[in-house]
Structure 1
Amino acid sequence: MLLTKNKKNQASKAAGNRILISVTVFGSAGPIRFVVNEEEPVADVIDTALKSYAREGRLPILGSKLNDFVLYCPVVGTEALKPWEAIGSFGVRNFMLSKKPPKEEDGGGGDEKPVAVGMRRKSFGSWKAWFNRSLNLKVSSH
């Protein structure tokens, strides 16, 4: 019995430390949590996150193409993590997953503004229109 425990401990040490990470998908309601090996590359973590997201039936539907997504670490910086880096090398356990920004093709226009990926702003008009609508909602008493 003691021999089997030693084998299990040696096998787990050989596999590396396992950590619980949280991956928040941009636009989704909450994070996905799962256990990974510290030595696992970022690309495998993205793949696991996409599979877990689809299995749970979350919205919005993302797809399964690994190359269409990037993983960010909000604490470390704004740069996307390299797919070959080990997930445990950053020293954090919270990450953000978002779609890659579309590549801009140089069409010669040059005056178009870049659009932030995943950021949609709903416009309901100006603040003056909102203020006027809120005044019209007041019910006057007789």
Structure 2
Amino acid sequence: MMLSKQKKNQNVNHNQRRLLISINVLGSAGPIRFVVNEEELVEAVIGTTLKSYAREGRLPLLGSDNSAFFLYCPHLGSDAALSPWDKIGVHGARNFVLCKKPHATNETADDGSGNSTSGTSSIPRRGSSGSWKSWFNLNLKISSH
């Protein structure tokens, strides 16, 4: 009887590789670690990360909107975020960085005639410039003294 259970488990696990991944959330202390199927989509991994983050009561509060976040893999050497439709195991990486997407601001200006024109502000907002790497490097410099 034990032999039949072992065979059944081997068949199920043979097709699915599982990975222990570590996700650092910018602005939070310590990574979140959990096991995922290598065929899991990046979007689902972001959702699982947000749920685990909230369950643990971490700060700052992030919310639960998967589409408001990017998942990066610093070991790939690319500054581009992973596509939400990629499989998490496709790059062979196990360490990732989760950060919030920058908010695009469209301000409305009144030209005095009652007509409003929309455009973007020429003054950069604090904390909205650059990539996640520049923000990460800035925080390391501040916290290392």
Q: TM-score, normalised by structure 1?
A: 0.76
Q: Which amino acid aligns with 1:84?
A: W
1:8 aligns with 2:9: yes
Moved more, 43-52 or 110-119: 110-119
Q: Percent identity?
A: 50
Contiguous gaps of at least 5 residues in structure 1:
122-142
Cα drift, residue 66 of structure 1: 1.0
2:50 is matched with which residue? 50
Partners of 1:110 and 1:63 lie apart in 2 by 27
Cα drift, residue 108 of structure 1: 3.6
Secondary structure of 1:3's aligned partner: helix
1:113 is matched with which residue? 124
Q: Structure 1's 3 and 39: CA in aligned 2 closer, same or farther, altered over 3 A?
A: same
Q: Which amino acid aligns with 1:63?
A: G
Partners of 1:95 and 1:111 lie apart in 2 by 33
Partners of 1:95 and 1:55 lie apart in 2 by 20
| More strand as a share of residues | 2
Partners of 2:101 and 2:4 lie apart in 1 by 49
2:70 is matched with which residue? 70
Q: Which amino acid aligns with 2:89?
A: G
Runs (4+) off by over 4 Å: none
Contiguous gaps of at least 5 residues in structure 2:
108-117, 139-145
What CA deviation, in whole Å up to 9, does each residue of 1:108-127 have, x standing for no partner?
A: 456323623885x8xxxxxx
